[in-house]
Chains A and B, each alone.
Chain A
């Protein structure tokens, strides 16, 4: 008998867990971006002209930012990305939305994990001023990353690997894949382009592409898996296809497919996922060698993930309700 002895997941909870996964991942990823960019900024000479706009581009919020500010001033950009409640993608707003989503589905979460969420939210809101000041910024970002990982660990260590956990994981992995693709897209010039003469020359060029890897927590793992040689295209391939690196696009999609395979009625979402992976598998060497082609590849991957998201929503989140029958209210007297 289908479902015998198994708790079925309500569609409403599936959706809120999926979003909780996405927002938690976004908070952690954005903290890492800001952290790494701050360190890079401290190392580079002012003449290098590295500003804060690439961060806005990666998070896809450049237009919204420029609508409210005159230019990409450091404090403004960091405040916008870290604590601006009006920027839905800011670290604080992401944590708040993840907390609300988890609150809505808390009935499914281990109590101890829920305490971790509550504490993360309270801490981030109370200490938000520390996110801006350069003296405290790096520590604050580290703390965000650490607490997000504490939550991920608490869930992984105490929650059944069931449908509810599956949707959390799918949300996390799709957001992570998205972030990796957007970083590649925005930083394509640094990774596979020619070093610009006026940007301070060779040593600084190394510094910037290394920091791109760091912003995805990929630098050390890339180094361990890579020999000598031209690092740019190899790094791009690593971020796209390294099946053992947990932030590569392939790893994220493979994990998504594994989680989907545990879910009922997963044929269409699985097909969507397989399509994006096929695009990755059939990669031509030229596509990772020049910034222009890399942009196109990134566009393809992003729209593939977008389509996968839509398919998830169609299959699991929006079960059509029969319209309620219209019946006269019964008389409540005797």
Chain B
């Protein structure tokens, strides 16, 4: 390694945090080949970052950021340095995610059925009664196989000691999977030689698996079900992904206005051939906007009568309406109990310790220790309304105290985790930045977990906000088996 080559990495350290790639100045075992290669690139690393940015522009990978005044699409923010996870670690995490989703689906099915979990005193009745995402319209519906959350994107974080936690489950309309796949296309373009020498697990079977899952939900016989991805339209921040998935699955990309429920309670697409019946809808619209007849009457993006058709069993909807009840961060706190209750197993992945503010004792603790806690609204997503005590001013803390006291049920608090870091290219230097990971879990006849997932990175020094909707960046995530990979990389690109 030349001095010049080392320059971008010189002095890399991440004191006080668990770094995903480096430890004590050297590479972690799974990362050795990658780190040696990247360090050997020298200035070429900056060239690869530029090449990646050009590829993103040419491929038209965009993401709308709501804070932009004009709400236009931005190029997808991407860091060229991949984040590496060993196959061994990933196998254990995958098993934990499947376990979690199995229990969550049993829980949702139970809630909208006999609510045994409440009768047995595992989930307090008042928690359910005050849950914003519980949909009485769904009571009594029996989706095929008892699965409500067909697609889940859980957020994983790693604390200082290396423990991996599930930070939240996203069971309504989790997004990001297309970016996971596009990130891989980009790294294949810019690091083609690395893919030759390392056995990096491919990620591109996801749309195929999703299509199989959706097709199996069709209520009609035959091997050619009509599947539609229901999108709120081009102004939605995840529209790129809706296009991507519809294209990859060969499904229709429909807006509310493209669908109509006829008097036979079946859903039809408006096509140039006339009405065509739809069997399965992969909806990317939140419950409340799905059907103006059943939910918000002012929804212009929904389909009037859709809930009627779904309840009649004439169309399958994934994720099922009402699945978001388990996104409630208060219910999140009960997930380890739910796993024990439904599966009689111990949770394989930890939950972050959570204080429920509606509990007097817990609230007292939270209010006395705001400095050291993260406070979250119970039913927001995309990092909205998250309060980090250590960064808050006195006025902000006072405002938070008032909000908690006014609405304790809708606030939870957690210890501030020391999110792990990963080497990230910023202004020509490789520096540690905080990351999380969003894997995607498909709950069909055969459960499926993506190889890795979408790594999100907080691009600002010290920041913990990785949310794409708040300007976070992303990295490709490489799951690879260090014991299998022939680590022949010596920086000369020679084989």
Q: Which residues of A contact B (CB under 8 A)?
A: 2-5, 7-12, 14, 103-104, 106-108, 111, 114-115, 118-119, 122, 163, 167, 263-265, 316, 319, 321-322, 324-325, 327-334
Contact = CB atoms under 8 A, between A and B. Distances in A.
Nearest to A109: B247
Contact of B294 (A322, A324, A330): A330
Interface residues of B, number: 40
B482 interface: no
* Interface class of chain A by DSSP: loop
Interface in B78-121: none
Interface string B258-300: 1010100000011111101000000000000000111111000
Interface of B: 57-60, 128-129, 134-137, 224, 226, 234, 243, 246-247, 250, 252-255, 257-258, 260, 262, 269-274, 276, 292-297, 304-305
Given A324-B292, A333-B136, A334-B129, A107 B246 contact: yes
A314 to B, nearest CB: 12
A322 B254 CA distance: 17
Given A7-B252, A103-B234, A106-B243, A332 B136 contact: yes
B295 A330 contact: yes
A323 B292 CA distance: 13
9 contacts: A7-B252, A9-B271, A10-B272, A11-B270, A122-B57, A264-B273, A325-B293, A332-B135, A334-B128
A114 B60 contact: yes
Given A107-B253, A264-B273, A325 B60 contact: no
Contacts of B59: 111, 115
Given A3-B276, A329-B296, A104 B254 contact: no
A319 B252 CA distance: 17
B280 to A, nearest CB: 14
A107 B247 CA distance: 5
B274 A324 contact: no
B130 to A, nearest CB: 9
A329 B273 contact: no
A326 B349 CA distance: 47
Nearest to B271: A8
A10 B254 contact: yes
Given A8-B276, A10-B271, A334-B129, 10 more contacts: A3-B276, A8-B226, A8-B273, A9-B273, A10-B269, A106-B60, A108-B247, A115-B59, A324-B293, A330-B294
A144 B137 CA distance: 55
A222 to B, nearest CB: 37
A3 B277 CA distance: 10
A2 to B, nearest CB: 7
Contacts of B258: 10-12
A329 B253 CA distance: 27
A265 B252 contact: no
B60 A118 contact: yes
A6 to B, nearest CB: 9
A319 B270 contact: yes
Contacts of A111: 59, 247
Nearest to B240: A106
B273 A10 contact: no
Contacts of B57: 118, 122
A14 B269 CA distance: 13
A312 to B, nearest CB: 10
Contacts of B272: 8-11, 14, 163, 167, 263-265, 316
Contacts of B136: 330-334
Contacts of B271: 8-11
B261 to A, nearest CB: 9
A92 B195 CA distance: 41
B243 A107 contact: yes
Task: Identify which of A103, A118, A322, A332 gathers the most chain B CB atoms within 10 Å of its CB.
Answer: A332
Contacts of A322: 260, 262
A327 to B, nearest CB: 5
Closest 6 CB pairs of A and B: A8-B271, A324-B304, A264-B273, A107-B253, A327-B293, A319-B270
Nearest to A163: B272
Instruction: With a 10 A CB-CB cut-off, give which of B137, B258, B272, B293 has the most chain A CB atoms.
Output: B272
Contacts of B224: 4-5
A215 to B, nearest CB: 33
B295 A264 contact: no
Nearest to B277: A3
B188 to A, nearest CB: 14
Contact of B273 (A2, A325, A331, A332): A2
A106 B231 CA distance: 14
A12 B234 CA distance: 13
A127 B226 CA distance: 44
A319 B276 CA distance: 13
